[in-house]
Amino acid sequence: MQIETLRTSMKKPSKILLLDGGISTELEKSLAARGSGTSNDDDDDDDDDSGACIHTSTAPVKFPDRNLWSSSLLLSHKGRLDIQSRHENFLAAGSNIITTVTYQLSHFATRFGYTEEQIDDLLLIAIHQAKAAAASFHDHDHDHAKPKGVDEKTFIVASIGCYGAVLADGSEYTGDYQLSVDDLIQFHQRRLEVLSRESNQIDGIAFETIPSLIEVRAILKLLKLKTKPRPKQDEGASSRSGCNRDVNGAVWLSLACQNGSTLNDGTSISEVLQVLDLEDPNSDIVHGIGVNCCKVGFVHELSLLLARHILDTRTSTIRDSDIKNLNPKAIRTIVLYPNSGEDWDAVNNCWEEGSGCTIAEDFANEMLRCIRSIHNLCREMDRPLLPVIVGGCCRTTPSTIWEMRRKLNQYACDEEFIK
């Protein structure tokens, strides 16, 4: 039997996959608890069962190196074990997909004294920790019942953060880089090349929290270069198509938005989607499009905007008789993973209530509302149900993901079309 890949899963109508939550903010909480003497290292899932706001100390929690943020934990054995433990917590909560702790890990760090080879190694270590977590979780599933909806396969996606993330100055919230497309290609290129060489170890790559149209253009241009078919080197290494590609597996692009219709740099989401369709008309290089690291209150409007665009522009030419046999190339998966609803108070260095949905059940209900609305729109337009990936970003916890898994399982029982 052929094993389903993430890429093929993302082309299946009605498919719903559950992503992990905010692993970096979970690690941050763990360090804060350990520093205050309240953490038990042997069992340190310290999220509150309600998912409610948990304020950090008034002193900012410090990772070993602020320039690498949570990725700096990869520098030590203890840090690596902490990362693996948090991955396992999200898997136990019901995640189908976990993302590597590499969001702020790039070769820009050579400016801070690291070598390119050191960054290469840390990227590989991050993949190893995610794989080790998946192996441990599945090897020990006899010790605890896996949540319904979690298959034997865990998908591992490598996280690539935006340029603004490495500046650590909030630029990902504005997208105001003052850089050219070529500058941004150079920034992303080596990291993408390193991760692409590990295509047999990962299932996909996520470009996350992209705040500006110019960075979207740069990523698309780079992906087109790296996914261009090249002559096979030997028969054993060839793909079914007879060509090798530098980038294999699934790729999604996740946008950072300031409201329900606009990128952080002020570009309309509609314009971004038009550029994406122009550069990648057959979804050959970008298989999912979505939003992350934004307020959860924006996501419903954004999800419908994405769905309506995909349904209007990518399925409108299909004959009615072919609707149920839609060519997978005609669709992209919608990917949604907003923040918990808390806002960062930069004056007092703590998280505050913010935009709502800080309680896990409220967050899960809002995400399920997005899925239902997407599916209802598909039905109204007599189109196949679009595939969706949902999860959480900053301050979403294993409790959040557990509640989402519970809601998704209920939805699957209520709606017979979910398989």
How many angstroms separate the CA atoms of 333 and 308, rounded? 13
Which residue ranges are tagged as binding site for Zn(2+)?
293, 393-394
| 8 A C-beta contact, residue 303 and residue 333 | no
Higher pLDDT, 221 or 55: 221
How many angstroms separate the CA atoms of 385 and 407, rounded? 18
Higher pLDDT, 51 or 404: 404
Average pLDDT over residues 292-298: 94
168 pLDDT band, cuts 50/70/90, is confident
Average pLDDT over residues 133-158: 78
Higher pLDDT, 358 or 335: 335
Least confident of 14-18, 43-47, 133-137, 259-263: 43-47
pLDDT the model gives residue 172: 84
Question: Does the pLDDT value for residue 3 go beyond 70?
Answer: no
Question: Does the pLDDT value for residue 65 go beyond 80?
Answer: yes
**419 located within any domain:** no
| 8 A C-beta contact, residue 388 and residue 404 | no
- Quote the domain boundaries for residue 389: 6-228+246-316+323-414
Higher pLDDT, 145 or 81: 81
**For the chain, how many structural domains are there in total?**
1
**70 located within any domain:** yes
237 pLDDT band, cuts 50/70/90, is very low
Which residue ranges are tagged as binding site?
293, 393-394
pLDDT the model gives residue 235: 36
Question: Does the pLDDT value for residue 143 go beyond 80?
Answer: no
| 8 A C-beta contact, residue 323 and residue 382 | yes
Least confident of 56-70, 244-258, 374-388: 56-70
Question: Does the pLDDT value for residue 241 go beyond 70?
Answer: no
CATH of the domain at 292: 3.20.20.330
- The residue behind tokens 């969706």 is 388
pLDDT the model gives residue 56: 42
Question: Does the pLDDT value for residue 393 go beyond 70?
Answer: yes
Least confident of 139-153, 179-193, 209-223: 139-153
**362 located within any domain:** yes
Question: Does the pLDDT value for residue 236 go beyond 50?
Answer: no
pLDDT the model gives residue 40: 43
**91 located within any domain:** yes
The strand pair at 230-231 and 243-244 is best described as: antiparallel
pLDDT the model gives residue 165: 92
Least confident of 41-50, 250-259, 328-337, 371-380: 41-50
- Specify which residues 155 forms β-bridges with: 97
Average pLDDT over residues 63-83: 96
Q: Give the mean pLDDT of the chain.
A: 85
DSSP assignment of 354-406, as one string?
Answer: TTS--SHHHHHHHHHHHHHHHHHHHHHTT-PPPPEEE---TT--HHHHHHHHH
**45 located within any domain:** yes
Q: pLDDT tens across 313-356, in order?
A: 765 544 444 444 455 556 899 999 999 877 766 566 666 776 56
Question: Does the pLDDT value for residue 261 go beyond 80?
Answer: yes
Question: Does the pLDDT value for residue 244 go beyond 50?
Answer: no
**Nearest C-alpha neighbor of 396 from the set 14, 10, 18, 6:** 18
Most confident of 57-61, 94-98, 357-361: 94-98
Question: What pTM value is reported for the model?
Answer: 0.88
**237 located within any domain:** no
Say what percent of the chain tops pLDDT 70.
78
247 pLDDT band, cuts 50/70/90, is confident
**Nearest C-alpha neighbor of 173 from the set 59, 266, 101:** 266
223 pLDDT band, cuts 50/70/90, is very high
Least confident of 40-54, 161-175, 198-212, 331-345: 40-54
**111 located within any domain:** yes
pLDDT the model gives residue 413: 84
**239 located within any domain:** no
Q: Which two tokens stand for residue 40?
A: 């038990």
pLDDT the model gives residue 118: 98
